[in-house]
Amino acid sequence: NLIINGAMQVAQRGTSSTTNGYGSVDRFRVFYNGNDEAPTHAQADVASGTTPYTLGFRKSYKITNGNQTSGAGAADVSNILTTIEAQDVANSGWNYTSASSFITLSFWVKSSVAQNFYGYVLSADGTEQRYAYETGSLSADTWTKITKTIPGNSNIQIDNNNGGGLEINIIPFRGTNSTDSGVSLNVWAAHSSSARTPDSTSTWFTTNDATFEITGVQLEVSDHATDFEHRSFAQELALCQRYYFLFCEGTNKEINVAWYFNNTHISFFIRYPTTMRAAPTLTVASGTNYYIIYRNNGNNQFGNFASEFISTEQMSCFTSSGVSGTAGQAGILRTNNSASKVEVSAEL
């Protein structure tokens, strides 16, 4: 299975968000545009007694539509996607340039509105190629398994590197700026940002607070779908941390030993739990006295810090704002506010 976190177990950033992009379930994100009210994406519970529940799924990725009072505009979008690292596709065993070699995408989906939905698979290297598909008509509030077997194509290029290789899109709605009634389903074609899929039915999007859920997302090198490859939470978390990890959040969380390079500058390291996809970006929640260093029977409190030297294994960090000590002194660096938060990201 080339999909990471397809059972939606891991949600390091939080269980609910209106952020455009990543914000809740790891490795899955929402792209939205032109909405009157932002959709909410969340890690939700799969109800007992449903088929996905009996198959071992306990969590889903749930999109709740905002109130779209102005209707479905041409530029409006609510799009779920996940991106697979190129080298994982290149080394998967799929002969992606051969029409007789196949991958199979499968997932469970539930919509509160009965209608047909579209999606597409996108190859990101070279001249982008797009394979559009449909779910078929879904019954309202009913889990349905979708299976799409996809052949290779001579125009596909997948580079053996750490960039994006395949992008899987599952689309509650896209306006006509990015769709076209002439798009053919179940064939590869050169990608066009103005013709990704056939035109979307707008019923879901114009239904205020409509919901759309997926779970059990799997992409495998096969000409048919096999049973979902359930991984342990620990396995999924480790795979997710290649792309993002929440280093610490809240009060009194130890960051590391820090030392005074000079009397107004402290330095320290952050080590990652696994080698990251690329040199990552540090995001630090900042505010008055959010962080504290205890040293020499005293302390300094400060509001922020920054990265300095970054690799795929660790980064060095520093602050020279609001600290005062003696060069060579060392101490323990901790968070000092319930809103303190340190994140490291190398997402695709």
Contacts of 264 (CB under 8 A, 6+ apart): 320, 323, 324
- The strand pairing partners of 145, in sequence order, are 108
CB atoms within 10 A of CB 222: 15
Bridge pairing between strands 306-310 and 314-319? antiparallel
Contacts of 166 (CB under 8 A, 6+ apart): 2, 83, 84, 89, 121, 122, 123, 124, 158, 219
pLDDT at 59: 99
CB atoms within 10 A of CB 49: 7
- Span 274-297, pLDDT tens digits: 999 999 999 999 999 999 999 999
**How far apart are alpha carbons 69 and 114 in whole angstroms?**
20
**How far apart are alpha carbons 99 and 107 in whole angstroms?**
23
pLDDT at 322: 85
**How far apart are alpha carbons 141 and 143 in whole angstroms?**
7
How is residue 56 written in tokens?
């071992």
**How far apart are alpha carbons 324 and 313 in whole angstroms?**
30
CB atoms within 10 A of CB 252: 12
Residue 138 near residue 111 (C-beta atoms within 8 A): yes
pTM given for the model: 0.97
**How far apart are alpha carbons 323 and 264 in whole angstroms?**
5
pLDDT at 27: 98
- Say whether 83 sits in a helix, a strand or coil: strand
How is residue 169 written in tokens?
């899109």
- DSSP H helices, the chain, are 51-54, 86-90, 203-206, 233-240
> Taking Cα atoms as reference points, which of 134, 163, 131, 168 lies closest to residue 6?
168
- Span 134-186, pLDDT tens digits: 999 999 999 999 999 999 999 999 999 999 999 999 999 999 999 999 999 99
Extract the residue ranges of the chain whose pLDDT is less than 70: none
- The strand pairing partners of 332, in sequence order, are 257, 294
> Which DSSP string do the residues of 111-170 spell out, in sequence order?
ESS----EEEEEE-BSS-EEEEEE--PPPTT--EEEEEEEE--TT-B--SSSSEEEEEEE
Residue 162 near residue 277 (C-beta atoms within 8 A): yes
- Say whether 241 sits in a helix, a strand or coil: coil
**How far apart are alpha carbons 147 and 138 in whole angstroms?**
14
Residue 320 to residues 93, 200, 264, 266: CA-CA distances in angstroms?
50, 53, 5, 7
**How far apart are alpha carbons 130 and 196 in whole angstroms?**
7
